[in-house]
Amino acid sequence: MQPSNQIGRFEPTLFSNTSGGFFDTNLTYNASYGADNGLSSALGTVHLADISFDNTDLGARNLSFADVYRTDNGVGASGLLGLGFPLNGNIWAEAVVGLYGQTGQAVAPSVSSAFFPIVPLLYFEGDISAPIFSLELSRLGPQAANNPKTSGGTLPTSPQATLQDGSMTFGAYPSGLSESSFTWSSVPVVTISERYQDYGFPSSMGNRWTTQLQAVYFNGAKLLDSRLQPNQGSNYALIDTGNPIMAIASDVLAQITNAWAANPDNYVIPCDSPFELVFQFGGSNFTLSKEDVLVPSIAAIDSGNWGGYATTDCQAQMQPFTPTNNEIGPNTSQTHQLGDVFLRNVISVFDYGDLSNAASRPPRIGFRSTNS
């Protein structure tokens, strides 16, 4: 789920719980979402439904989804395709515990898998050959193309001009690519306690799409690692498809902003400034396109475009991040949150590993740069 779009002239159609094609599982659903800027908590019921994907032969039986009927901030929800691990979502975990409470017996995988997110469910039901998905996001154009006055017009609510379309692939690598096309970085595995294994949980599983961030470079200089995590070598990045920008550890981000403004709270920079931001994963460097990170400031006034988008000042698509107590440690760590700004610069592959025993084949993330 995600907050409804408040920018356009109309809101997207919300889910109607009076439509057919699904049935109530009689299980309640509690969830939290967002970092003080989205739905902080929600309550609803869990439904199952059969779904299909237009223009493909893919379909999922008994896909679980939450019918949210109450949130603590009143923001409407229109839906979100869950791409996390089963353990990362409340639906599957609460369903296994709830079903165990009803029967007193360990929940069989054939039953609990109905509550998996979409990709593991498609794999478990044999509809895809591997428990993976890949993403290639649309790219942004240069600043001149971003300006609606000089580019012939783009969306009136956004300065971003799309250069190419994106794609998403279920169960396979993108066309023409293979496993060896990517740099791979492992995802931490959570060991499940014997008590929960008795309920029907696997012995181990991935928890979040986090992986170790080995280094950050800005304009050729290696930045000091974040000290917000107490353990050496525990700088991890959450690769977050639900984040439109990047949340970087505050002590690392301050090194970047100080380099251009001597001010850790200044995220506005002249668009023509030297800007090379590099993240290192799995021993390989991935350089971000300047145009993806620096976006012309909205509603700025300059001589070239009155009341439109600035042609001289850009807003860095980054914000500071400070991990909370439950985000510290090798199994759940996320020192940085790298969202769509980063993902536009790579083709990414998310491999769930062994969903029954991740310790035997751990999950991993693959990156391939789209920048020459």
How open is the CA angle 17-19-23, to the nearest 5 degrees?
75
What pLDDT is recorded for position 100?
Answer: 93
Specify if 16 maps to a domain. no
How many Å apart are CA 141 and CA 289, to the nearest integer? 10
The pLDDT, as a whole number, for residue 364 is 97
Residue 189 lies in a domain: yes
Q: Is 15 part of a structural domain of the chain? A: no
Residues 6+ apart with CB under 8 A from 361: 353, 354
Residues 80 and 136 in one domain: no
Q: Are residues 273 and 310 in the same domain?
A: yes
In this structure, are 178 and 80 located in the same domain? no
Instruction: Report how many domains make up the chain.
Output: 2
Task: Establish if 140 belongs to a structural domain.
Answer: yes
> Residue 141 sits in which domain range?
132-369
- Residue 249 domain-assigned (yes or no): yes
Q: Which of 125, 90, 112 is nearest to 1 (CA)?
A: 90
**What is the pLDDT at residue 180?**
97
CATH of residue 253: 2.40.70.10
**Which pLDDT belongs to residue 24?**
76
Could you tell me if residue 110 is inside a domain? yes
Residues 283, 355, single domain; the answer is yes
- Sheet with 132-136: strands ordered across: 167-170, 132-136, 346-351, 364-369, 183-186
227 & 354 share domain: yes
Residues of the chain whose pLDDT is less than 50?
A: 1-10, 12, 35-37, 143, 145-160, 299-309, 331
Q: Which pLDDT score, from 0 to 100, does residue 216 have?
A: 96
Quick one: 43 exposed, middle or buried, by C-beta within 10 A (0-12, 13-18, 19+)? middle
Same domain, 275 and 144: yes
Residue-level pLDDT at 156: 36
Same domain, 103 and 170: no
pLDDT of 261-299, one tens digit each? 655 566 788 777 889 999 999 999 999 988 888 877 653
Say what the pLDDT of residue 260 is: 76
> Whats the size of the chain, residue-wise?
372
Tally helices (H) and strands (E) across the chain: 9, 24
Same domain, 100 and 139: no
* Residues 152 and 297 grouped into a single domain: yes
